[in-house]
Structure 1
Amino acid sequence: MVVDNLSNATIYFSLHPLFKKAFDFIKTQDIEKIEPGSTQLEGDSLKVSVSETKMKTKSEAKLEIHQKYIDIQIPIKQKETFGWSSSTHLKNSVKGYDAINDIEFFNDAPSTYFTILPGEFAIFFPEDGHAPLIGEGETKKIIIKVAVM
């Protein structure tokens, strides 16, 4: 997992060949005015989704993992808290892995919580169980899906 400010994104370009393209896309956007929807930047290998959704309480938020994609999550409207736990500690799957949607939810409790602000981002790799959208009210965020290579 990585947590940092968007101004430091170049530090992480070497972690994946598509990270530069992902963050370059974000730099070209007026993030405050970006409209909800999905964009494919590099076919199924690099996808951007902007969503507006209701935040959850810690007890409502489920840890999730992805096997095929790395998540880059960027809050736009307000701060967002995430639960986190190493996937090696996740034992209580809700329904098993959904290969079509590349997601598996868990009833396990996160080992830690952290909060990021607009202008910051979190990168979750397949080994990072994460429970997003913890907070109050409605939020708007960007999720970039980067295919594992």
Structure 2
Amino acid sequence: MIASNILNYKKYILNNNFKIGFEYLIKENLEDLPYGKYNVNDNILIIKETYDTLYLGETFWEAHEKFIDIQFILNGEEKIAYSPINILNEIVYNNKNDLKILKGEVKSFVHLKNNDFAIFFPEDAHMSGLNPEETRVAVEKIIIKIKI
């Protein structure tokens, strides 16, 4: 798991797909992008979503085998819980949606605000959308899914 601000994105260009994904975040007018899912190419999917944050226990651990997530906060803030998948218990894996549901304890949290991002690799379980403090917050997020 990597967490940083979009100003530092060049440090995290691991291949051409990361370059395309990050350049999308800095060049596009993301405020005008409608909510939903968009294919950039065969290897990159963009998701724009909005939601209110949740309390720990109202959501679940997830991980992916086929994609790396770059989760970018466009507006708002949230905490994301993190644990390596090897210390969690897998409940189910949905191959069609590339969604692995797990259970177990939180190892750490990352607090993301406007223009911050986190990268989650297949070994990184994450529980996104958590309240940054004790109250719910509206979040607008862009998720870049990069095919492995």
TM-score, normalised relative to structure 1: 0.90
Letter in 1 for 2:7: S
Pick the structure with more strand per residue. Answer: 2
Mapping for residues 102-141 of structure 1, pairs under 5 Å: 102-135=98-131, 136-141=136-141
Deviation at 1:28, TM superposition (A): 1.6
| Aligned counterpart, 2:6 | 6
User: Is contact 2:35-2:48 (8 Å) kept?
Assistant: yes
Q: Can you give the 5+ residue segments of structure 2 that lack an aligned partner in the other structure?
A: none
Q: Does 2:44 match 1:46?
A: yes
Runs (5+) with no aligned partner, structure 1: none
Deviations 1:2-39 (A, max 9, x none): 111101111111x2331000011111222334321221
Aligned partner of 1:99 among 95, 100, 111: 95
Report if aligned partners of 1:32, 1:77 keep a CA contact under 8 Å in 2: no
Q: Please give the root-mean-square deviation of Cα atoms over the aligned residues, in Å.
A: 1.3
Aligned length: 144
Q: Does the 8 Å contact 1:63/1:110 carry over to 2?
A: no
% identical aligned pairs: 26
> In the alignment, is residue 26 of structure 1 matched against residue 22 of structure 2?
no
Could you tell me which amino acid in structure 1 is paired with residue 128 of structure 2? Answer: P
3-state DSSP of counterpart to 2:25: helix
What TM-score results when the alignment is normalised by the length of structure 2?
Answer: 0.91
The aligned counterpart of 1:66 is: 64
Q: Does the Cα contact within 8 Å between 1:65 and 1:104 map onto a contact in 2?
A: yes
What is the distance in 2 between the residues matched to 1:110 and 1:32? 32
1:142 to partner: Cα distance:
0.4
Q: Deviations over 1:75-103 (max 9, x none)?
A: 12211100000011111x33x11000001
